Amino acid sequence: MIASKIGKTFLTAYNTKYKKSYSARDFFERIYFPLFYDHEKYMQWISNSPYDQISKQKLTGDKKKRHEANKKLITAIEKQEIGMSTSVGFPSSDVMATTSGMVSNIKLPLHSENIYLSWIGGGCGIGVQGGLSLYIDNAEVLMLVFEGWKLYRKEYLNKLKKLRGNQMDTWNGQWLAHAMDTNFNPKKPLAEFNPIETDKAGNMQLSTQNWLKVIFGLTNKIKNHIVTGYIFSLGNTNFTVGFIPFNLPQIKHPIELYKIIFGENEYLKNAKQIEGLFGSEHSFLKCCEMGAIGIKALEPKGLKGYIFLQNGEMKMPDYKKQTQIVTYNTYITWILSMLNATETLWEKAGAYAQILLTYEQSAKKGSTKKGNEVSFILKSSYPKQFIDALTVLLEDNNIDLKAINKIAEEADRMPKENFPYFLSLIRFKYAYHKNLLKTSKL
């Protein structure tokens, strides 16, 4: 049923862009069927549809049989025989069955036009890793999807004999991530695009795109602050996640912050690694369970150990490993975004870390007392413990009392849930400065 709404947005955008006045049936017969099903290899599989029935009989190579299947479907649609075999996303005869999905208890007016629209909208699902798909009700995105349909048929399914068909959603995910990338060249749409994976026997299939790669693309294409996606899965067993809002400014913020703090060239050089790290801690389904997709969903894998104590121990960044620096920088920009902070807080963290390091370095040769005191400060679990640990530094006559007081005030006025993230920034700066100091002494 949601597919019909997507189909309606699509058809309105198509008619406007190409100066047509197609009804849903017109578009289905003139464009959709010839592109999707009037070939030996289909673009999309719809269970138990007339197309599926001749596929099971291995008769898709017979043009006459394909057209008979199409006529059978159109006849059923015109008779308004609504079900999973004649429409996309509609319930089966048993709405509680595992093959029912996208079902609403709202009494919607159902007629043949809606059913044709469901097929059109059904071709717009965006498949991502985890076996989920999403619909984005946006005209510009849907027209981009349409451009991808033509390429999928002409340049891939028709040319690559070993490429399996029926991967429409997977194609849409791959194509959109590519076409919405800032480096996309519309004059050479397939340049630097390789969505195919090949097994040892030479058989080919489309690989599934990471969900966040698609969403990062949306931040480049859509100006709205909030975009709502409909998340679902259609297959042998169907299920619906529901409507999930995507906060695009939040999603884009850590990328923009990375460019500001570490330089745009540095970002561009490592963009693949950086974007691969964001959102790697949780599955897409887990992110949907948060109720909305924003900065929290972008948490990079492996970061928790640098923020929270694990078995009483704190994992400290090791800046001696050059391969880790991009990872650390990604962690830092995510933490700053979680705190809704700018690069100014990162600069403050550097100043605070330098105070701690200077204090540690002022220790007498062979003494570990000051080093242990700094370590205790950096391992603090909550603001009071942190402030109490800072008071030890006040006994040093050379310490900057105003600076210590400023650090304490910053920790005290910060929301308790933000404190671990704030302190982790100081840890990263402390580790970075300490490594620089060691390197300069070599």
- Domain boundary pick from 106, 123, 140: 123
Domain presence at residue 58 = yes
Residue 283 within any structural domain of the chain: no
Domain count of the chain?
2
Q: Which of 123, 150, 173 is the last residue of a domain?
A: 123
* Residue 208 placed within a domain: no
> What's at 395, amino acid-wise?
E
Average pLDDT, the chain: 90
Evaluate whether 339 touches 419 at the Cβ level (below 8 Å). Answer: no
Average pLDDT over residues 327-350: 93
Cβ-count burial of 121 within 10 angstroms (0-12 exposed, 13-18 middle, 19+ buried)? Answer: buried
| pLDDT exceeds cutoff 90 at 31 | yes
Is residue 150's pLDDT more than 60?
yes
Q: 57-70 burial, b if ≥16 CB within 10 A, otherwise e?
A: eeebeeeebbeebb
For residue 108, name the pLDDT band (cuts at 50, 70, 90).
Answer: low
Query: For residue 274, what pLDDT is reported?
Result: 94
Give 298-318 pLDDT, tens digit per residue.
999 999 999 987 777 778 898
pTM of the model: 0.88
What confidence tier does 186 reach under pLDDT thresholds 50, 70, 90?
A: very high
Residue 333 lies in a domain: yes
Q: Indicate whether 285 belongs to any domain.
A: no
Q: Report the range of poorest mean pLDDT among 99-113, 163-177, 345-359, 365-379.
A: 99-113
**Which pLDDT score is estimated for 408?**
92
Nearest Cα residue to 430 out of 346, 357, 330, 347: 357
Angstrom distance (rounded) from CA 224 to CA 104: 27
Place of tokens 């979680």: 338
Please state, in angstroms and rounded to a whole number, the distance separating the CA atoms of residues 174 and 196: 10
Q: How confident is the model at residue 69 (pLDDT cuts 50, 70, 90)?
A: very high
Domain that holds residue 379: 302-441
Domain-located, residue 180: no
Last residue within a domain, chosen from 103, 123, 143: 123
pLDDT tens per residue, range 71-104: 999 998 988 777 777 888 776 655 555 555 555 5
As a dihedral over the C-alpha atoms of residue 26, residue 27, residue 31, residue 34, rounded to 10 degrees, the angle is -60
pLDDT of 206 strictly over 60: yes
Residue 252 lies in a domain: no
User: Does residue 331 belong to any structural domain of this protein?
Assistant: yes
